[in-house]
Structure 1
Amino acid sequence: MATKTGQESNERIARRYPEEVVTKGDIDLIDELCTVDVLDHSPLGELQGHQELKNQIEMLRGGFSDFSASVDEVIAEGDLVAMRVTLRGTHDGEFMGTEATGKSFEVPNMIFTRVENGQIAERWVVPDMFGMLTQIGVVERPTA
């Protein structure tokens, strides 16, 4: 079990990914923040290693040039950090084969991060993809 100081350090490390890598677009920070064989689980696929994570961020920022991830709440326990994050962006580029719609979105996202020896070793990312795709006009909300 991590000490309180260790948990605070793990929280800082986990927060840097959405705040600096995703929001600021500093994808080279992945080399410092993540283990070489980092594993990322999300609706966009299971990714492993620095380059696959960098490619994903480039793809997201290509589809949403103003893509951001605001950390709303954090809970750290041992080597795990849970974060409630709000994702925002404007669909001004191609995303998952869909041309830009010009529409904006704001959706909740849950991220669980496992930190190992001061680096991110594994992430589980669960954004509201249906909400995002509905807001940008890619899918229609079913009617009752």
Structure 2
Amino acid sequence: MTPSTERNKELIEQTCDAINEQDKDTFMSLQDPEIVHHHGSEVRYGVEAVTDQVWSALDAFPDLTITPETILAEDDLVALRYTLTGTHNGEFNGLAPTGKEFQVSEMKIYRVDDGKVAEVWTATDQLGLLTQLDVVKAP
């Protein structure tokens, strides 16, 4: 593994730590000002929009925790598979708090440019999340 690839992995670990510690300033400092975040059919542009999205999730799930399971890196790309846990204690996408705990798997691919997160693609187990929150019934 090259030193730059190792630095890219460390950047993603720092990003996870900043979210877990709810350290908005550190989180923002790790993102490119022009970051692009692809999450399902939604695309957010710019560090403020991406930060607002993350902190909106923290408002809904104040104990939100990211636990990295696998981190792989090659060139300017870093893949992260992680477990996301939390308790639904605030409004989430128009859903009133349920008080339910959840645990889902997610995956992200990050593109790093000049030591900052420049682009992110996220795949979330939305059905698993909504089922655990008792919003939908499992098929």
Give me the TM-score of the superposition, normalised by structure 1: 0.91
CA distance in 2, matches of 1:31, 1:77: 24
Corresponding residue to 2:10 among 9, 12, 17:
12
CA distance in 2, matches of 1:44, 1:17: 23
* 4+ runs deviating over 4 angstroms: none
Q: What 5-or-longer segments of structure 1 have no aligned partner?
A: none
Q: What 5-or-longer segments of structure 2 have no aligned partner?
A: none
Q: Deviations over 1:36-81 (max 9, x none)?
A: 1000111372111111012112210111110111111111100000
Match of 1:67 in 2: 64
Match of 2:45 in 1: 48
Match of 1:57 in 2: 54
CA distance in 1, matches of 2:13, 2:33: 19
Q: Is the 8 A contact 1:91 1:100 kept in 2?
A: yes
SS at match of 2:50: helix
Match of 1:95 in 2: 92
CA distance in 1, matches of 2:82, 2:93: 22
Distance 1:112 1:55, change over 3 A: same
Which AA in structure 1 matches 2:38? H
| Percent identical residues | 33
Distance 1:96 1:44, change over 3 A: farther
CA distance in 1, matches of 2:96, 2:41: 17
Distance 1:115 1:39, change over 3 A: same
May I ask how many residue pairs the two structures share in their alignment? 139
Distance 1:128 1:68, change over 3 A: same
CA-CA distance at 1:9 after TM superposition: 0.2
Q: Deviations over 1:83-111 (max 9, x none)?
A: 11100000011101011111110010101
CA distance in 2, matches of 1:18, 1:43: 20
RMSD (Å), alpha carbons = 1.3
